[in-house]
Structure formats: structure tokens, C-alpha cells
């Protein structure tokens, strides 16, 4: 036997004996006496009751948060699969899952269980996680924007996208004039309420639209290219308008608002003109050296700095995260590397938390009167008329066929996740009341759900016309 194997029992034995000696010596040390309560004798009842301590462990913040995440992921995944079977984007099912886990269904059917699963004190943790997930997601959305494509299709895309913003924005402001007195929260100015209603009517969900185009194999078709370009231009414009609106709301006064807007313009200019070329050089240098971790670390640092700067300025951290994605260099492996690292975590884990957090705020039961559903119908009519109608007519005016125009209108009418982001910002700022918030969430669901059937209807009419002409 090799002698070195003898060292193992020798080391274990020697130190084991020393530990035993210390423990024996320690038994003779005097104990410091404290007044302690005499434990109650253990009875059969208390032994049985001790099993319930495992349920008490569920109330621990970490245990409860993990349970919430598990249930949220299961519900989001199940409803996402169901939505795909209905030829809808998974995000539609995930939003529905979030609403159903809130007071609209679970809180109504099983209020005790809902209160146990989502106590009020636990919502802050869910909110912080959802905000982190949204920041990562907005960063990915920014990276997916190809500014060169927007420049190549600038004329048509900018005209359609801006028409699809200004028309529903006007209709939203006009609708706010009639809703303000009854539905605006206390101490909220008409300016703040009207601007947010305008934004809520005019937003387009670029990520959902891009996935619908991809799933339907339209990516390289003229329709797909112009739709994605319009949505990209729409997103950039809408987020800039949203940043200005948030700045006005947060600033309170005209002078403060102007200062905030000026700081936001400086921030955007610095990111595009100074940080972007510097970041491009540094990332290429690190990738050339075979040091991708250093490049990824730098990108994450810039993401956090940009989000923090936007939050400090007063235009919301999500705008900073979005802008950080926009300035990422094109034509380098870093984009795919970052997408692979972030997309699954944000889309599969953190975004469902945001949907459920939104669902916990959405109380459809508040719409318990017939006239409230009439108002919800008006909001839906204004949203579809402004976005779908405005995009369709503008596309037709610039020379697109009716089929292309209606398809573009249907795609631009998709609101999805981006609408929920805007609504939550408005709710956090205290601009949207719970009733209006619930109505707008339903509008976001309905307009997103409409996209697939409208595209199917256009395709069916095209096939039918082709058969009639042959």
C-alpha cells in the first residue's frame, strides 16, 4: 500500500481526537444564566400542530416569492401555449394569465387564497423584479431596431408611423376631455391625464409585431419590411414623446419641465454622438482580443448607467434601457451574445412577473355598471379607429395596395406588452385611475388579439379573389 494513503486516516483521526478533547473540556465551563421562558410540555396536539410550521414557512418573504414565481411561470407557460394553438402570440396568453391571477378572477373566486398567495406587502418584490425584467427587455427591443432600415425606408415608414401616432394621439386627447371630470384621480391636471390618454392610444408593440411577422414568414416581404420599419419608427417616436410626457408630469411646473426636457435632449445626444462610437471601438477591441466577458460586462454597466441617468433626469429608467440597446454596435457578435444571455431570462422568467403584477392591478370587477362598459367600448372604438384606421388610410395614400394597407393597419394596431408598460407608468405616477387602467388593459388585450384574425381575413380575401379571377 502506498504510504501517502496512510496520511488520510492519520489526519482525520488526529483532528477528530482534538475536536473531542475540546468538546469534553468545554463541558466543564460555567454557563451564563439568562432568564428564559419555560417551554410548554409537548402534547399530542402540539406535535400535530407542528406540521403547520411548514405552511408558516411559506409566509417567509423568500419562500413566498419563490412560490409566486413558480405559479406565475406555470400559468404564463400554459396560457402561452394555449394562445399559440389559437394562432395568437404567446404574449396574449401571458397577459390573460396575469389578469386571471389578479382580483378579476382568482381574487374574486378565492379571495383568501389570493390574499395568502399575493399579500399586499409582497407586491413590492414582484414590482422590483418586473422592473428589472422590463429594463432587460427594453434593452433587447432597442438592440433589435435597425436604424439603417429606417433610413432606407424613411419616407414611407415615417409618414405611416407618425400618422399612426398623431391621429390616435389626437383622438385620445379628445376622449380625455370627456372622461377627465369623472375618471381622473384627485389632484391630477387635465394636461397630464390627456397626454397619457394620447400616448395610450398611439403606442405600437414593436416586439409583438416583429414576432407576428416572423411567425407568418413575412420578414423579407415588402409588407414585412415596411411594417417592421414603421413599428420601429413608431416606437422611437412614441418613447421620445412618452419621455417628454413623463418629464412634464414629474416636473410639475413649466420651467422644471423645460429643464427636464433639455436634460433629456442632452442625454440622448451624448449617448448617440459620444457614447455610441466609443462603445463600438471598445467592444470591437475586446472582442478582437478574445475577451467577450469584458465586453459583456461593459455593456451591462452601460445599460445600468443609462437606466439610472434616465431615472434621475425624470424620463423613466426604461427609456434609458431602451436607448442603451439602440446604441449597441451593429455587425458584431456582441448583439447575438447579449440577446442569448438576456432574452430567455427576461422573456420566460421576468416578463411573466410583470404581466401578473399588471393583472394584480387590473380589477375588472370595478366595471360593475353598464355605463362603465359603454366607456370601455368608446375607448376600444377610439383606439382601433385611430391606430388601425389612421395607419391603413395613410398607407393607402402613399401608394400601397388596399391589402397591404389593411395588413399594415392591423399590425400597427398591435399594442401588447408596450401598452402595458405605458399604462403601468401612468398608474405608478397616479395619473390613471383603477377604472381607466382596467379599461385600457382590456383594450390592449383586444387590439393585440385582433391582429391575427385581421391578417387571416386579408389573406382569405386575397385567395378568394385569386380563385374568382381564374
pLDDT digits (tens, 9 = 90+) for 173-228: 999 999 999 888 888 888 889 989 998 898 887 777 777 877 777 767 777 778 87
Q: Are 279 and 298 in contact (CB under 8 A)?
A: yes
Instruction: Kindly indicate the confidence band of residue 152, based on its pLDDT and cuts at 50, 70 and 90.
Output: low
Instruction: Kindly indicate the confidence band of residue 460, based on its pLDDT and cuts at 50, 70 and 90.
Output: confident
Mean pLDDT value of segment 6-12: 75
The confidence score (pLDDT) of residue 19 equals 82
Phi-psi label, residue 373: left if phi above 0, alpha if psi -120 to 50, beta otherwise: alpha
CA 64 to centroid of chain Cα atoms: 22
Instruction: Kindly indicate the confidence band of residue 436, based on its pLDDT and cuts at 50, 70 and 90.
Output: very high
Task: Give the whole-angstrom CA distance, residue 133 versus residue 143.
Answer: 15
User: Cell 449597441, residue?
Assistant: 328
Q: Is the dihedral of CA 422, 424, 427, 433 positive or negative?
A: positive
Task: Point out the least confidently predicted range of 32-41, 44-53, 84-93.
Answer: 44-53
Percent of the chain having pLDDT more than 90? Answer: 13
Mean pLDDT value of segment 434-458: 90
Task: Give the whole-angstrom CA distance, residue 306 versus residue 323.
Answer: 8
Q: Are 313 and 260 in contact (CB under 8 A)?
A: yes
On the CB side of 320, CA atoms within 13 Å amount to: 24
Does the pLDDT at position 43 exceed 60? no
At 53-79, the pLDDT tens digits run: 556 666 777 888 888 889 988 998 899
Task: Give the whole-angstrom CA distance, residue 166 versus residue 27.
Answer: 82
The confidence score (pLDDT) of residue 47 equals 47
Q: Using H for helix, E for strand and C for coil, what is the string for the chain?
A: CCHHHHHHHHHHHHHHHHHHHHHHHHCCCCCCCCCCCCCCCCCHHHHHHHCCHHHHHCCCHHHHHHHHHHHHHHHHHHHHHHHHHCCCCHHHHHHHHHHHCCCCCHHHHCHHHHHHHCCHHHHHHHHHHHHHHHHHHHHHHHHHCCHHHHHHCHHHHHHHHHHHHHHHHHHHHHHHHHHHHHHCCCCCCHHHHHHHHHHHHHCCCHHHHHHHHHHCCCCCCHHHHHHHHHHHHHHHHHHHHHHHHHHHHHHCCHHHHHHHHHHHHHHHHHHHHHHHHHHHHHHHHHHHCCCHHHHHHHHHHHHHHHHHHHHHHCCCHHHHHHHHHHCCCCCCCHHHHHHHHHHHHHHHHHHHHHHHHHHHHCCHHHCCCHHHHHHHHHHHHHHHHHHHHHHHHHHHHCCCCHHHHHHHHHHHCCCHHHHHHHHHHHHHCCCCCHHHHHHHHHHHHHHHHHHHHHHHHHHHHHHHHHHHHC
Task: Give the whole-angstrom CA distance, residue 288 versus residue 292.
Answer: 9
Mean pLDDT value of segment 250-274: 81
| Residue 349 φ then ψ, to 5° | -110, -55
Instruction: Kindly indicate the confidence band of residue 34, based on its pLDDT and cuts at 50, 70 and 90.
Output: low
Mean pLDDT computed over every residue of the chain:
82
The confidence score (pLDDT) of residue 42 equals 47
At 292-329, the pLDDT tens digits run: 888 888 888 999 999 999 888 877 788 888 889 888 88
Q: State the CATH architecture for 61-458.
A: Up-down Bundle (1.20)
Amino acid at each position: 500500500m502506498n504510504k501517502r494513503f496512510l496520511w488520510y486516516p492519520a489526519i482525520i483521526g488526529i483532528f477528530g481526537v482534538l475536536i473531542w478533547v475540546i468538546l469534553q473540556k468545554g463541558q466543564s465551563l460555567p454557563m451564563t444564566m439568562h432568564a428564559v421562558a419555560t417551554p410548554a410540555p409537548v402534547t399530542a396536539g402540539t406535535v400535530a400542530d407542528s406540521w403547520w410550521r411548514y405552511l408558516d414557512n411559506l409566509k417567509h418573504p423568500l419562500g413566498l416569492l419563490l412560490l409566486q414565481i413558480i405559479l406565475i411561470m406555470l400559468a404564463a407557460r400554459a396560457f402561452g401555449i394555449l394562445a399559440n394553438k389559437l394562432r395568437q402570440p404567446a404574449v396574449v396568453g401571458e397577459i390573460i394569465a396575469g389578469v386571471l391571477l389578479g382580483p378579476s378572477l382568482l381574487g374574486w373566486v378565492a379571495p383568501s387564497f389570493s390574499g395568502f398567495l399575493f399579500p399586499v406587502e409582497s407586491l413590492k418584490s414582484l414590482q422590483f423584479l418586473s422592473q428589472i425584467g422590463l429594463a432587460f427587455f427594453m434593452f433587447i427591443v432597442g438592440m433589435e431596431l435597425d436604424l439603417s432600415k429606417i433610413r432606407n425606408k424613411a419616407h414611407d415608414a415615417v409618414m405611416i408611423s407618425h400618422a399612426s401616432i398623431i391621429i390616435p394621439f389626437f383622438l385620445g386627447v379628445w376622449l380625455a376631455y370627456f372622461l377627465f371630470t369623472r375618471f381622473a384621480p384627485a389632484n391630477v391636471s387635465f394636461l397630464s391625464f390627456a397626454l397619457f390618454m394620447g400616448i395610450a392610444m398611439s403606442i405600437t408593440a414593436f416586439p409583438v409585431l416583429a414576432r407576428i411577422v416572423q411567425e407568418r414568414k413575412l420578414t423579407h416581404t415588402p409588407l414585412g419590411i415596411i411594417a417592421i420599419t414603421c413599428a420601429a419608427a413608431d416606437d422611437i417616436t412614441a418613447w421620445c414623446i412618452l419621455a417628454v410626457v413623463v418629464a412634464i408630469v414629474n416636473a410639475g411646473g413649466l420651467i422644471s419641465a423645460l429643464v427636464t426636457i433639455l436634460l433629456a435632449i442632452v442625454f440622448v445626444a451624448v449617448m448617440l454622438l459620444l457614447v455610441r462610437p466609443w462603445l463600438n471601438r471598445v467592444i470591437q477591441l475586446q472582442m478582437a482580443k478574445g475577451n467577450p466577458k469584458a465586453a459583456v460586462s461593459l455593456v451591462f454597466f452601460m445599460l445600468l448607467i443609462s437606466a439610472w441617468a434616465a431615472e434621475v433626469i425624470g424620463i423613466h429608467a426604461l427609456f434609458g434601457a431602451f436607448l442603451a440597446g439602440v446604441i449597441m454596435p451593429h455587425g458584431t457578435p456582441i448583439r447575438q451574445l447579449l440577446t442569448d444571455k438576456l432574452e430567455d431570462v427576461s422573456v420566460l422568467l421576468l416578463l411573466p412577473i410583470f404581466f401578473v403584477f399588471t393583472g394584480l392591478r387590473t380589477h375588472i370587477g370595478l366595471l360593475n355598471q353598464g355605463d362603465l362598459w359603454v366607456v370601455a367600448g368608446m375607448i376600444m372604438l377610439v383606439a382601433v379607429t385611430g391606430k388601425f384606421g389612421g395607419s391603413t388610410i395613410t398607407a393607402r395614400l402613399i401608394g400601397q395596395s388596399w391589402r397591404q394597407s389593411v395588413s399594415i393597419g392591423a399590425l400597427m394596431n398591435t399594442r401588447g406588452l408596450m401598452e402595458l408598460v405605458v399604462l403601468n407608468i401612468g398608474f405608478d405616477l397616479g395619473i390613471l385611475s383603477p377604472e381607466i387602467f382596467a379599461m385600457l388593459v382590456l383594450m390592449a388585450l383586444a387590439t393585440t388579439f385582433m391582429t391575427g384574425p385581421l391578417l387571416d381575413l386579408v389573406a382569405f380575401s386575397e385567395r378568394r379573389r385569386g380563385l374568382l379571377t381564374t
